[in-house]
């Protein structure tokens, strides 16, 4: 009837760009009626986008000796409105860490909670392998977020040829400056190539190599301990300052010194960013001090480079009896504490040619005062027995060069240090040195095929070598028992390029050693060394192999673990042998095709644990599986898996017992026709 009832017209805004939208009209027209308009306006704004925020955009590491790592630096990263993980990737030559302890060259992944990652510290250190400039970006990436980079740079420099090596590298942390006003040795001026070093205890925290006599002020920069690094890499504020001299012409290290400060009072101590002026007179007292750092709960081999005033073992060890457990020589003679509290000294006197096995409950410094042992020192080495020899030099030197007379005469069978690193001859005739340098304070196992001797002398050469350890591992890293007792060395040669890491298990499924596959120019192939530990008699738990026990070998290819089939190269059997050596080659078809799985419940790790531990098992075929936790009374504490169908493969579960009391617990793996039960200990 010529009218339109009231009608709602709905409008919505859909901008396509970030801008203001206006002067857009909706026209209403009808014949001769006056048109009516509705004006529209709105602003196009950005959608909520994922963001990554960094505290720093650049880190510079300066110069760093090749095959060493710098002190760490760090930045923080956070994220908001994230739709995926943040992946952090470092360029070649740089390592990253979340805890400043465990380092990796593989990416770090940060997992958002409700779309956010809170401020997280990322630690970075520089580890050059060649003398060249390094640079690049540590990328911080997440889907939809703008890529954020931290530029890193550093320069690899050749190894130092100096006698003294500082515990820090790169730029000193809150450096103290010590100025030499004068320095002499037995009344004479110092000479070109002589070195004056500054020590905090047994830590070299700075040194200078002289170009001639100290006729004007000579600067020594010393670094404070950096609280952001895991290792002690500098002095501690308030500690006493001590000095040493390296007399280049006679290759002699001198620690006897009279020091006079200017002003004389108060006597300076180490001070962050402090300054001191000193006059040094070396050689005024023939006695020197040797400090041997003995690690806790480790079978360490120690030796002396000083002749103490008394060669009595009772006198030598008096200062560490409160933590000492045992000392043993190469013939099995020992020093132990009887149940009635008295000490039995089965080793009466110290010998300059001998090293000694020692075990302490707590880390301790064994301090010895005396005059240097006269070198060269002839050390006799009877054949067909494990000799424990001293290393009476005051400086490091290349282990393989040191034993050159024994390798060239084909008398040497093996050298081994307390950690299991070794010198052995490969089947191709090349000698492999994983010890690197012989070190003052340590002793070494030596085995000969016929009688011989070694002429111990001061170091004439040095080798800077970064050995591969459990810290370099990825898959097996947290599962390897770090201390070694009478270890065995197992070498894999001509390793397939798909294999990343190798591991040895005993017949109970205990992982007793693992190694990373390395490239070797000397061996002209990829190879791996596994240092596997025998069971330590000083620990309550079984933490190593037993002699003549069969060995189970597995490999990790970067994705999963597989069993291996092996062939012995040369002589030997695939069984464990304390301090033995075994060369193996992986059978050609062992690592191809479908992974080989066995049905087994592995030992949890760590064990004992607090508060969490990892439980692993393998299935050889599809099974209905239950994984249950019991207490010592048999009551069910937790069900990690309950009658779930699992395909053949390897499985790993983390169990957290933070709300439970210390004690013994059991974990049971049950299928339709098999039951496995293992014990674990929660120790808070």
Last residue of a domain, one of 227, 252, 282: 282
The percent of residues above 70 in pLDDT, for the chain, comes to 93
Q: DSSP 3-state assignment of 572? A: coil
Q: What is the dihedral of CA 392, 393, 399, 403, to 10 degrees?
A: -60
User: What distance in Å separates the CA atoms of residue 326 and residue 361, rounded to the nearest whole number?
Assistant: 10
Q: What pLDDT, in 10s, does the model give residues 110-147?
A: 999 989 999 999 999 999 999 899 999 999 999 989 99
Residue pair 472/494 in contact (Cβ under 8 Å)? The answer is no
Is 561 in the same domain as 509? yes
CA–CA separation, 82 and 53 (whole Å):
12
More confidently predicted of 23 and 426? 426
Give the 3-state DSSP-derived string for 411-456, with helices as H, strands as E and coil as C.
Answer: CEEEEECCCCCEEEECCCCCEEECCCEECCCECEEEEECCCEEEEE
What's the structural domain count of the chain?
Answer: 3
Could you say which of 230, 253, 282 is where a domain stops? 282
Token digits of residue 588? 């050609």
391: nearest Cα among 436, 457, 451: 457
- Residue 313 φ then ψ, to 5°: -65, -35
**Cα–Cα distance for residue pair 393/302, rounded to 1 Å:** 13
Note whether residue 619 is domain-resident.
yes
Read off the pLDDT band of 524 (50, 70, 90).
Answer: low
Q: Where are the beta strands (DSSP E) in 484-635?
A: 488-492, 501-505, 511-516, 518-520, 525-532, 552-556, 561-563, 566-568, 581-586, 600-601, 612-619, 623-631
**For residue 107, is it within any domain?**
no
pLDDT at 520 over 70: no
Q: How does the average pLDDT of the chain come out, rounded?
A: 87
CA 404 to chain centre: 29
Task: Kindly state whether residue 145 falls inside one of the protein's structural domains.
Answer: no
CA distances for 506 relative to 78, 485, 554, 603, angstroms: 44, 15, 11, 11
Q: What angle do CA 180, 185, 191 make, to 5 degrees?
A: 75
Bridge-partner residues for 140, per DSSP?
Answer: 88, 148
At residue 24, the pLDDT reads: 56
The residue with greater pLDDT, 467 or 508, is 508
pTM equals: 0.53
Contact 598, 643 (CB under 8 A): no
Same domain, 542 and 608: no
**Phi (first) and psi of residue 478, to 5 degrees:** -80, 0
User: Same domain for 627 and 554?
Assistant: no
Residues 6+ apart with CB under 8 A from 73: 59, 61, 123, 124, 125, 228
Q: How many CB atoms lie within 10 A of CB 678?
A: 18
pLDDT at position 599: 72
Q: Does the residue 594 lie in any domain?
A: no
Q: 274 and 181: one domain?
A: yes
Domain extent at residue 655: 600-682
Q: What is the pLDDT of residues 251-307, one digit of tens each?
A: 788 888 889 999 988 889 999 999 999 999 998 666 788 999 999 989 999 999 999
Give the mean model confidence (pLDDT) for residues 517-542. 78
Do residues 180 and 237 both lie within one domain? yes
Residue 458's pLDDT is: 61
**What CATH number is attached to the domain comprising 228?**
2.60.40
271 and 221 part of one domain: yes
CA dist 244 and 252 (Å) reads 10
Question: How many angstroms separate the CA atoms of 347 and 578, rounded?
Answer: 24
Residue 180 lies in a domain: yes
Q: Which of 497, 527, 517 is closest to 430 using CA atoms?
A: 527
- DSSP alpha helix (H) spans, 441-500: none
- Whether residue 100 is contained in a domain is answered as no
Q: How many residues does the chain have?
A: 684
**Is residue 327 pLDDT above 90, yes or no?**
yes
Phi, psi angles (nearest 5°) of residue 241 = -95, 125
Give a yes or no: residue 210 inside a domain. Answer: yes
Q: Are residues 657 and 626 part of one domain?
A: yes
The pLDDT tens digits for 365-401 are 999 998 888 888 999 999 999 999 999 988 778 899 8
CA distance 151 to 184: 46
pLDDT at 588: 65
- The answer as to whether 637 is a domain residue is yes
**Would you tell me how many other CB atoms lie within 10 Å of the CB of residue 611?**
13
Contact 675, 641 (CB under 8 A): no
Q: What is the pLDDT of residue 468?
A: 45
For 166-202, list the strands marked E by DSSP. Answer: 176-185, 188-189, 195-200
Same-domain pairing of 606 and 580: no
Q: Measured at the alpha carbon of residue 36, what is the angle toward residues 12 and 5, in degrees to the nearest 5? A: 80
**Which domain CATH number covers 620?**
2.60.40.1930
Q: How far apart are CA 300 and CA 499, in angstroms?
A: 32
- Bridge partner list, 625: 644
Distance CA 511, CA 130 (A): 34
Same-domain pairing of 498 and 576: yes
Looking only at the bridges linking them, the beta strands covering 581-586 and 623-631 are: unpaired
Residue 518 and residue 613 in one domain: no
Instruction: Mark which of 586, 614, 648 sits at the end of a domain.
Output: 586
Residue 595 confidence (pLDDT)? 46
Task: Say which DSSP state 5 is in.
Answer: -
pLDDT, tens only, 31-63:
777 777 888 888 887 667 899 999 999 999 988
Furthest-apart CA atoms within the chain: distance in Å: 128
* 626 and 553 together in one domain: no
**Is the separation of the CB atoms in 334 and 325 below 8 Å?**
no
Looking at the fold, whether 544 and 514 belong to one and the same domain comes out as yes
């Amino acid at each position: 009837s010529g009218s339109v009832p009231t009608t709602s017209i709905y409008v919505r805004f859909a901008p396509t760009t970030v801008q203001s939208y206006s002067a857009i009209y909706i026209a209403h027209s009808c014949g001769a009626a006056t048109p009516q308009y509705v004006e529209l306006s709105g602003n196009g704004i950005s959608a909520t986008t994922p963001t990554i925020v960094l505290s720093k955009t650049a880190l510079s590491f300066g110069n760093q000796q090749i095959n060493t790592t710098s002190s760490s630096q760090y930045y923080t990263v956070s994220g908001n409105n994230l739709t995926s993980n943040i992946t952090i990737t470092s360029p070649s030559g740089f390592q990253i860490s979340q805890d400043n302890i465990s380092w990796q060259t593989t990416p770090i992944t940060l997992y958002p909670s409700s779309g956010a990652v809170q401020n997280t510290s990322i630690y970075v250190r520089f580890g050059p392998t060649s003398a060249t400039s390094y640079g690049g970006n540590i990328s911080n990436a997440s889907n939809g977020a703008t890529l954020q980079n931290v530029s890193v740079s550093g320069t690899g420099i050749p190894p130092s040829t100096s006698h003294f090596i500082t515990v820090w590298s790169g730029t000193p942390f809150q450096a103290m400056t010590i100025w030499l006003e004068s320095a002499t040795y037995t009344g004479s001026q110092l000479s070109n190539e002589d070195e004056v070093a500054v020590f905090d205890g047994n830590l070299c925290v700075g040194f200078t190599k002289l170009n001639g006599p100290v006729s004007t002020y000579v600067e020594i920069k010393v670094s404070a301990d950096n609280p952001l690094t895991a290792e002690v890499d500098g002095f501690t504020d308030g500690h006493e300052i001590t000095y040493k001299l390296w007399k280049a012409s006679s290759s002699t290290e001198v620690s006897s010194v009279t020091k006079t400060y200017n002003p004389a009072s108060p006597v300076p101590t180490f001070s962050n960013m402090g300054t001191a002026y000193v006059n040094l007179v070396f050689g005024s007292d023939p006695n020197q001090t040797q400090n041997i750092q003995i690690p806790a709960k480790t079978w360490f081999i120690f030796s002396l480079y000083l002749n103490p005033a008394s060669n009595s073992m009772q006198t030598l060890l008096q200062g560490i009896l409160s933590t000492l457990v045992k000392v043993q020589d190469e013939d099995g003679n020992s020093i132990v504490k009887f149940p009635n509290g008295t000490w039995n000294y089965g080793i009466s006197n110290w010998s300059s040619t001998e090293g000694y096995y020692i075990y302490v409950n707590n880390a301790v410094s064994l301090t010895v005062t005396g005059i240097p042992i006269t070198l060269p020192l002839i050390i006799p080495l009877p054949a067909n027995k494990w000799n424990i020899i001293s290393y009476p030099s005051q400086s490091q030197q290349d282990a393989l060069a040191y034993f050159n007379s024994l390798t060239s005469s084909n008398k040497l069978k093996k050298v081994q240090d307390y950690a299991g690193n070794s010198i052995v001859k490969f089947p191709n005739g090349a000698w492999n040195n994983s010890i690197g340098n012989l070190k003052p304070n340590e002793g070494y196992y030596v085995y000969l095929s016929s009688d011989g001797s070694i002429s111990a002398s001061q170091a004439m050469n040095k080798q800077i070598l970064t050995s591969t350890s459990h810290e370099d591992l990825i898959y097996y890293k947290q599962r390897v028992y770090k201390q070694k007792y009478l270890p065995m060395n197992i070498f894999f040669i001509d390793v397939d390029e798909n294999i990343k890491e190798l591991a040895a298990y005993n017949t109970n499924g205990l992982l007793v050693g693992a190694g990373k596959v390395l490239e070797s120019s000397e061996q002209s192939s990829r190879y791996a060394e596994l240092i596997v530990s025998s069971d330590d008699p000083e620990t309550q738990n079984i933490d190593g192999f037993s002699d003549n026990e069969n060995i189970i070998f597995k490999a990790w290819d970067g994705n999963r673990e597989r069993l291996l089939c092996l062939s012995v190269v040369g002589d030997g059997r695939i069984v464990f042998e304390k301090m033995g050596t075994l060369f193996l080659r992986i059978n050609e078809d062992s690592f191809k095709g479908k992974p080989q799985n066995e049905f087994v419940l592995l030992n949890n790790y760590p064990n004992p644990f607090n508060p969490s531990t990892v439980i692993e098992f393998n299935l050889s075929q599809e099974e209905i599986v239950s994984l249950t936790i019991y207490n010592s009374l048999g009551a069910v504490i937790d069900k990690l898996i309950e009658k779930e169908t699992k395909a053949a493969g390897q499985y790993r579960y983390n169990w957290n017992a933070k709300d439970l009391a210390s004690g013994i617990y059991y974990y049971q793996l049950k299928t339709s026709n098999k039951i496995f039960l293992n014990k674990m200990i929660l120790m808070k």
